[in-house]
Structures are given as C-alpha cells and as structure tokens.
C-alpha cells in the first residue's frame, strides 16, 4: 500500500484524501482486497479502490460511495473518444 501513497505524492502531492482516519495500513489493505473480490471491480484502478475504502471508513453514505464507484466504472467502460 505504501507504493500508492508514493505515486500520489509524485502525481499531485496530496495523499490526505487516501488516508482513512480510523484504519491501520493493514486494515486499508485488507479492505482493498475485499473490494476486488467482486469481479466487476477488477478494472478499477487501485487508487480508486483505496478512495472507496477511505470514503467508507470516513463515514461517507453508502449512496455516495456507490455513485462514485458507478461513475468510475462507467468512465472505464466508456472512455471519452479522445482517449482511444
């Protein structure tokens, strides 16, 4: 998991949104593993999976988490034409 924090820091310097206030690094890693147990989550980037874990841990509503996850999956399945 530490690699994801290093990548985010290099990309934009803001790792704070990837830190759950009440989970250890091991708990975050286990939650990411659980996220990927659902086959339809497999195309989702690890950085997004970690955001989902953090959203849940930090008290976001289930609807907000689901809406975010669904939007990411739609974007993956239907990338903008310029991305081809």
Residue 11: inside a domain = yes
pTM higher than 0.75 for the full model?
yes
Report pLDDT digits (tens) over 31-61.
999 999 999 999 999 889 999 999 999 999 9
Q: Give the number of domains in the chain.
A: 1
Residue 84: inside a domain = no
Residue 69: inside a domain = yes
Q: Is 65's pLDDT higher than 60? A: yes
Residue 5: exposed, middle, or buried by beta-carbon count in 10 A (0-12, 13-18, 19+)? Answer: middle
- What are the contacts of 60-69 at 24+ separation with CB within 8 A? 69/41, 69/44
Residue range of the domain that includes 14: 2-79
């Amino acid at each position: 998991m530490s690699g994801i924090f290093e990548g985010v820091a290099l990309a934009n310097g803001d790792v704070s949104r990837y830190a759950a206030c009440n989970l250890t690094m091991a708990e975050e890693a286990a939650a990411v593993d659980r996220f990927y147990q659902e086959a339809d989550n497999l195309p989702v980037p690890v950085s997004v999976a970690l955001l989902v874990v953090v959203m849940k841990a930090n008290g976001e509503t289930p609807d907000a988490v689901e809406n975010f996850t669904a939007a990411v999956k739609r974007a993956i399945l239907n990338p903008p034409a310029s991305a081809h």
